[in-house]
Structure 1
Amino acid sequence: MSLLSSFYPNALMVVGASADPTKRGFQSIRSLLRDGFAGDIYPVNPRLNELLGLTCYASIEEVPANPELALVCTPAASLLDVIQSCGLKGVKTSIVLASGFAEAGEEGQALQSKAVALAKRFNMRLVGPNTSGVFNTHAKMNLVGFTHLTAGPLGILSQSGNMALSLVTEGSTQLHSGFSSYVGIGNAADLDFHEYLDYFASDKGTGALITYMEGLTDGQAFLKAARSFTANKPLVLYKSGKSESGQRSAKSHTGALAGSYQVAKGVMRQAGVVLVDQPDHLLPVAEALATQPLPAGRRVAVLADGGGHATIAADELDALGLPLAELSASTQAALKALLPKGAAVSNPIDVAGGTDSNPMNFAHCIELLLADPSVDQLLLVGLFGGYALRFDASLAEAEVNTATAIAKLAKASGKPVLVHSLFALNKPAPLQELVEEGTPVYASIETACASLKALVDYAEYRKRISDDDWLTGRGEPSLRVERLVQKVRAEGRTALLEPEAKQLVSAFEVALPEQHWLTHSKELDSLPDELLAQPLAMKVVSQDILHKSDAGGVLLNKQGLNALKAGWQKLYANALHFAPEARLDGVLLSPMADPKGTEVILGVTYDKQYGHLLMFGLGGIFVEVLKDVVFRSLPLARSDAWDMLAGIQAVKVLEGVRGQPPVDKGALVELLLKISALVTAHPEIAELDLNPVRCFRDGYAVLDARMVLFSAAANKSPQQDKRPKQPQAALVH
């Protein structure tokens, strides 16, 4: 809330005001005066008496008021003195433009740290340093120097000043509803991403937020703030740096698959963020989300004045998973009566020249389509808005009247209506009328369809969180688990043996197949006859061999005492050939599982930005090749678990292909939630792989488990200090 008052200030100072038009100390004051900023402006410069009609002050101390906001345009070396003076003056927020801080090396980092510490003494917040600035069009406060700003509903939060300039320039050259506020976070030495989300959430002038992000210093805080933000307003994000980062681990399938962008896609979706893959989709997608109601479903009606555009739109929508609405017979009959004989009225609708001389027929068609219960959204594609340019100038007034009618119909229907036009870049009056009345217009069918998909995604997220129990995947500590962890660490280990890992997951009610851990071959003689009569899987147990199949440490379909004894010898020989110094801790026996199931992998890894992550995907030996996996942060909500199952590219495999039965998705969801509960209750777990988990029509079988703890020296995970203390009575035995 302090930022809210600071960005709607009654008075502000420009420290380092300048008479040079190329300097920000001049440009900001010129913008404030030009735009009609209602507050008081106090330029500070000891060498100036007057600037643009305003009195200049030699020092901050001489300013005759106590401004809430200061724009600091002075060099880095002066910042500590400026903060001291601003703090004594009662300034709440200072925007620091200068570079030469953390981005410049150790000396700059030291200066930046001192500046933050000094500001905290005065309870003052810093934007930047190394920021491009701030604007708030609704307060007529432009401290960036951007021109052609139109007030509107779109906020911008960016790590790049050039990216913000690109968005503003795009908005000025295209039909656009306008911007509310912009903040360039710069080095984020004090205020960070998540705190700015709080400002934009509370800002009534912002209907949706556009964010450009390169990296995060506190991903968990951002996700928490994003969940709060997206519960009420849309957040559209483009994240640069899509290549895999150094988050690999040769010991972990999960770690090896946790490329930074792949992780970001999962956790941002989980928090309700609309992540766009193309930077030029940021503005149009955000505009749709800021101006349109959320659709009740995915079905789209396409209205076109040409078959080509109708077909392109249908193809794009299909690729995005948005089905064409199946129009009722009465709707089709009404369209048929309205349009020429050659019109296609089944969706996509081609008016076949029925609007060439009477554009108002577009509005009549849209009225019919929006009234059809099967239509959740409507997309108008083609030439609308340019009929006066394409056919005859006499159509100009009719098109404007049609645009007004379309906008009114859209508002009355409560359904999203988007318009594509070949003439969007010409900005003709009918299209300007649409935008001014809250109906977005796009020059690209692809972009319009992507915006429809964003509306659906955000609507489905809002529905999920309204129905969900957010504590579903949060667990309470288990005394059984804690004792086993203590035992492993007492032995100087961080890697659990497979039987131990399975004991840990079973403590959280994960169903496991029958298993027998034998530490000496003589124990084979004591096995019951009913077990010896079954085909068994044999696996070597060794803390030094994490991937047993690589070492020849797995034998299948061994039946009878003699076969088991021979298998034991072979397993040990293979293991020692693979790793001569390996410690061998016996053999794990289990009855052979049904081979007809579908194999998946569940994994947990720890990410330095987002904390513990849960991974799900197709399993088996090809998981690292196919990389068809999704990630979510912990704890997991039930809707997150269902969303993970739907999120893999091979989702149809889970539904049964080539004679395979569908898997028990409900059981898989419960398994995901139990693993989430285990790790949130015991954050000392660094890595966990269940691979493969063989899934059947009813239930699943966990065939292998691997688990690693954080180092015993640390004796806790990076998150463990945040875990609330649990009374002994709360422990699960």
Structure 2
Amino acid sequence: MNQQAKTSAQELLASLYPSSLMVVGASADPGKRGYQAVQALVTEGFQGRIYPVNPRLEQLLGLTCYPEIAAVPGAPELALVCTPAASLPEVLDACGRKGVKTAVVLASGFAEVGAAGQALQNLSLAVARNWGLRLIGPNTSGVFNMHAAMNLVGYRDLRPGPLGILSQSGNMALSLVTEGTLQLHSGFSSYIGVGNASDLAFHDYLDYFLLDQGTGALAAYIEGLDAGQAFLQAARQFTASKPLVVYKSGRSASGQKAAKSHTGALAGNYQVARGVMRQAGVVLVNQPDYLLPVAEALATQPLVKGGRVAVLADGGGHATIAADALDSLGLPLAQLSAASQKALAACLPATASLTNPIDVAGATDTDPEVFARCAEILLADPGVDQLLLVGLFGGYALRFDPQLLIAERQTALQLADLARASGKPLLVHSLYALYKPEPLALLVEEGFPVFSSIEVAVAAVQALTDYSAYRFREATDDYLTGEGEASRRALKILDGARFEGRSALLEPEAKQLLKAFEVQLPEELWLRSREDLQQLDAAWLTQPLAMKLVSQDILHKSDAGGVELNLLGLEDLDAAWQRIELSAAKYAADAKLQGCLLVPMASNQATEVILGVTRDSQYGPLLMFGLGGIFVEVLEDVVFRALPLSRADAWDMLAGIRSAKVLEGVRGQPPVDKSALVELMLKVSALVTAHPEIAEMDLNPVRCYREGYKVLDARVLLNTQRATSSSALEKLELLPELVH
């Protein structure tokens, strides 16, 4: 975090732990936010001074009311603005004169409703900036800080805890708070409704939650980001010390449309957002009801060395469901040591399963403390990274005998002590979780999450595994840079094309650009005229060749009939040249033809992949990777990462496509040289990062072999003014066109 961002975050931190605040537009109507906020502050014990502002009220809930902002004593750090949209410029001007640092603006009717609203929002922002006043909103559902007993939203029955909430939707925030109230939950720290983000935006709030000592993890609901690169930078800094869990909506075309109409936010393509957020250490959940429990697990449990899970169950059904759920996510069951199995046998009946998952075979029905004895054995096993307890625990007194409650309470405390001593996560599923029995409530108070769904519990296991892996790998990450002689050679090629006013490199130039960065390319000849065929060395005439059109006016050579394959001998080459010229003339009569490339036919014993670069309007330069052929055209099996790319990012991309097993070699194809492919990705990253002149780049196909690779075709588009180019969403929609 740079000094400016840190200062801004510290100022926001002070505003959200205020010693005094005012409610502008306070109301005596219990249905109005101006009443609900004051009521919550009074009843929940806010320790600071509260100044309601309303010219028609003298008192509200025992507090003195003030007729105008100028009459309020001192300079409150925070203002909650409950007045209509049209009043906002005047209200903010008065707040600025009073010395208020931050204003929370509830009113809607700004950028989300059209041009007139945008103009009002711009005017309000200009007034605020004139006074150095920061804005949360407008069109926000509000904020709360439970550690300061400051509830400006009016939510009821909140309890303080480690989990922060950041949301673009007030209803989604209400859903999370309601879920936490109805279920066993460790409590909330702060909530901020982003609203229209006219001033303070997602990345600013990440900086705040990073500094806030009361927040252990952050759950965020995101529809779209206007400042994607700033968000990624802030997210990387945040996830270096705290977990960030995101549910990203607007994943479908209709969802993106709804997100825009709802908040005026720009919701980018989900594949892009998923890739770049994962790269920044963000944990993404695929279902909104996973957001709260997964974030809570990350807020309360320690980092893990791996994903090896021991499952301890009191029934075969739950044990099997847990094993299936773990397997579906690629999470391995821990292999228990012989010593652990022997110890388990000593405290379980003969019918119990001693291999993971462990089924206690009814032993806990009459003695719940068996769970604690088994947990001690499993947590001590060096092959176990995490312990997942599934079944009926917490409900034995309800199900069998009320007198078991004492033993269950004792077992809960023992489980908590054992997990803390081991330094390993303990996650508990119980089908009695929704009943909130005392033993489970004790576990939550001790800092251990309880789940009512095995699938959600397993999602939390995966999140702990993935986030821990990110935290541990970041310490040794590395990048390639595009500096030095390679960059100087590349710049000559780029400047030459730009000097001629071209927006694209010729294929031979694109390959020379790659060659400057030591990318592996096939041998080739660029012949400028048909007559040059007569000068070919004999070696070229005795091997099968491919011939490809070179033209600055025809980028997609296949569409123009500009590719001929399996040519052998001078006669084949001459006839192919004539066919290419004829087809190109029909395709684009005015196209300038600049010869043809001759390339030896590549071996079929290879796997084809595609690498693409685009400069996205939200996230900046991106690298796309996927398998070629049908995987690109039909399945869209690609992943994106922001540039610059680290070595760990590149390896993560290889594992991230759905067809990753193809890289291991299938149906007679040899396995791909992954190390060489990673080096290619890093070289492309270094090249594009060093040269913003490059708007887009497509390497397609890249043929990957058991050893090495060959880039068979390359297309490079240039920025005429070093501006950003098409979005990654457009790139994804055009994927079929890239295969040529």
- Classify the TM-score, shorter chain: over 0.9
**1:472 — aligned with what?**
480
**1:206 — aligned with what?**
215
The structure-2 alpha-carbon separation of the partners of 1:578 and 1:246, relative to structure 1 and needing over 3 Å to count, comes to: farther
Offset at residue 501 of structure 1 (A): 1.2
Aligned partner of 1:155 among 160, 164, 189: 164
Hey, what's the Cα distance between the residues in 2 that align with 1:416 and 1:530? 65
Offset at residue 534 of structure 1 (A): 2.2
The structure-2 alpha-carbon separation of the partners of 1:645 and 1:111, relative to structure 1 and needing over 3 Å to count, comes to: same
1:688-723 deviations in Å (ceiling 9; x for gaps): 11011001111100011111112x3x354479xxxx
Q: What code does the residue aligned with 1:55 have?
A: T
**2:515 — aligned with what?**
506
Look up the SS of the partner of 2:31 in the other structure. coil
**2:731 — aligned with what?**
none
Greater displacement, 622-631 / 394-403: 622-631
1:640 aligns with 2:666: no
Q: What code does the residue aligned with 2:643 have?
A: L
Look up the SS of the partner of 1:495 in the other structure. coil
Offset at residue 473 of structure 1 (A): 5.2
1:505-561 deviations in Å (ceiling 9; x for gaps): 112221211111111011111121222222211111223332323333222222222
1:98 aligns with 2:98: no
1:3-23 deviations in Å (ceiling 9; x for gaps): 000000011111111111111
The structure-2 alpha-carbon separation of the partners of 1:563 and 1:259, relative to structure 1 and needing over 3 Å to count, comes to: farther
Aligned partner of 1:52 among 61, 69, 86: 61
**1:461 — aligned with what?**
470
Hey, what's the Cα distance between the residues in 2 that align with 1:240 and 1:624? 25
**1:452 — aligned with what?**
461
Greater displacement, 538-547 / 235-244: 538-547
- Sequence identity of aligned pairs in percent? 68
Kept after mapping to 2: 8 A contact 1:296/1:459: yes
**2:302 — aligned with what?**
293
Aligned partner of 1:693 among 702, 710, 714: 702
Kept after mapping to 2: 8 A contact 1:270/1:640: yes
1:118-173 deviations in Å (ceiling 9; x for gaps): 11111110110111100000000000000010100000000000000000000000
Q: RMSD in angstroms over aligned alpha carbons? A: 1.7
**1:653 — aligned with what?**
662
Look up the SS of the partner of 1:467 in the other structure. coil
Kept after mapping to 2: 8 A contact 1:474/1:636: no
Offset at residue 488 of structure 1 (A): 2.1
1:367 aligns with 2:367: no
Kept after mapping to 2: 8 A contact 1:684/1:717: no
Hey, what's the Cα distance between the residues in 2 that align with 1:219 and 1:115? 24
Aligned partner of 1:41 among 28, 45, 50: 50
Offset at residue 28 of structure 1 (A): 0.7
Greater displacement, 148-157 / 680-689: 680-689
1:319 aligns with 2:328: yes
Offset at residue 492 of structure 1 (A): 3.2
Kept after mapping to 1: 8 A contact 2:224/2:268: no
The structure-2 alpha-carbon separation of the partners of 1:48 and 1:79, relative to structure 1 and needing over 3 Å to count, comes to: same
Hey, what's the Cα distance between the residues in 2 that align with 1:666 and 1:474? 19
Offset at residue 623 of structure 1 (A): 1.7
Hey, what's the Cα distance between the residues in 1 that align with 2:713 and 2:477? 31
1:539 aligns with 2:548: yes
> Within 5 A, what are the aligned runs for 1:546-557?
546-557=555-566
Greater displacement, 228-237 / 46-55: 46-55
**1:407 — aligned with what?**
416
Aligned partner of 2:538 among 529, 532, 539: 529
**1:254 — aligned with what?**
none
Kept after mapping to 1: 8 A contact 2:507/2:714: yes
Kept after mapping to 2: 8 A contact 1:614/1:676: yes
**1:243 — aligned with what?**
252
The structure-2 alpha-carbon separation of the partners of 1:174 and 1:245, relative to structure 1 and needing over 3 Å to count, comes to: closer
Hey, what's the Cα distance between the residues in 1 that align with 2:255 and 2:537? 49
**1:604 — aligned with what?**
613
1:342-366 deviations in Å (ceiling 9; x for gaps): 1001000100011111000000000
Offset at residue 245 of structure 1 (A): 8.9
Hey, what's the Cα distance between the residues in 2 that align with 1:550 and 1:84? 61
1:343 aligns with 2:369: no
1:647-678 deviations in Å (ceiling 9; x for gaps): 11111111122232211111111100110111
Offset at residue 226 of structure 1 (A): 0.4
> Within 5 A, what are the aligned runs for 1:266-281?
266-281=275-290
Offset at residue 490 of structure 1 (A): 3.4
**1:120 — aligned with what?**
129
Offset at residue 570 of structure 1 (A): 2.1
The structure-2 alpha-carbon separation of the partners of 1:625 and 1:259, relative to structure 1 and needing over 3 Å to count, comes to: farther
Aligned partner of 1:146 among 155, 171, 186: 155
**1:731 — aligned with what?**
none
Kept after mapping to 2: 8 A contact 1:16/1:74: yes
1:610-655 deviations in Å (ceiling 9; x for gaps): 1111011101365221211110011111110111111111111111
Kept after mapping to 2: 8 A contact 1:473/1:636: no
1:384 aligns with 2:365: no
**2:19 — aligned with what?**
10
Instruction: Please list every run of 5 or more consecutive structure 1 residues that lacks an aligned counterpart in the other structure.
Output: 248-257, 720-733
Kept after mapping to 1: 8 A contact 2:268/2:618: no
The structure-2 alpha-carbon separation of the partners of 1:119 and 1:19, relative to structure 1 and needing over 3 Å to count, comes to: same
Q: TM-score, normalised by structure 2?
A: 0.93
Q: What code does the residue aligned with 1:496 have?
A: L
Hey, what's the Cα distance between the residues in 1 that align with 2:641 and 2:482? 14
Kept after mapping to 1: 8 A contact 2:671/2:706: yes
1:46-82 deviations in Å (ceiling 9; x for gaps): 1111111111111111111211111111111211121
Kept after mapping to 2: 8 A contact 1:475/1:680: no
* Pairs aligned (count): 706
The structure-2 alpha-carbon separation of the partners of 1:39 and 1:436, relative to structure 1 and needing over 3 Å to count, comes to: same
1:211-254 deviations in Å (ceiling 9; x for gaps): 0011011100000000000001000000111125999xxxxxxx
Look up the SS of the partner of 2:612 in the other structure. strand
Hey, what's the Cα distance between the residues in 2 that align with 1:105 and 1:658? 56
Hey, what's the Cα distance between the residues in 2 that align with 1:35 and 1:380? 36
1:263-292 deviations in Å (ceiling 9; x for gaps): 011000000000111000000000000000
Hey, what's the Cα distance between the residues in 1 that align with 2:33 and 2:572? 83
**1:64 — aligned with what?**
73
Hey, what's the Cα distance between the residues in 2 that align with 1:185 and 1:429? 36
Q: What code does the residue aligned with 1:450 have?
A: A
Kept after mapping to 1: 8 A contact 2:617/2:724: no
Q: TM-score, normalised by structure 1?
A: 0.94
1:488 aligns with 2:518: no
Hey, what's the Cα distance between the residues in 1 that align with 2:55 and 2:636? 62
1:357 aligns with 2:366: yes
**1:395 — aligned with what?**
404
Q: What code does the residue aligned with 1:53 have?
A: G
The structure-2 alpha-carbon separation of the partners of 1:137 and 1:593, relative to structure 1 and needing over 3 Å to count, comes to: same
Kept after mapping to 2: 8 A contact 1:98/1:130: yes
Offset at residue 582 of structure 1 (A): 3.3
Q: What code does the residue aligned with 1:105 have?
A: G
Hey, what's the Cα distance between the residues in 1 that align with 2:255 and 2:156? 41
Hey, what's the Cα distance between the residues in 2 that align with 1:260 and 1:128? 24
Q: What code does the residue aligned with 2:131 have?
A: F
Hey, what's the Cα distance between the residues in 2 that align with 1:534 and 1:474? 36
Aligned partner of 2:595 among 580, 586, 601: 586
The structure-2 alpha-carbon separation of the partners of 1:716 and 1:57, relative to structure 1 and needing over 3 Å to count, comes to: closer
Offset at residue 198 of structure 1 (A): 0.3
Look up the SS of the partner of 1:468 in the other structure. coil
Aligned partner of 1:134 among 132, 136, 143: 143
Offset at residue 493 of structure 1 (A): 2.2
Hey, what's the Cα distance between the residues in 2 that align with 1:201 and 1:433? 28
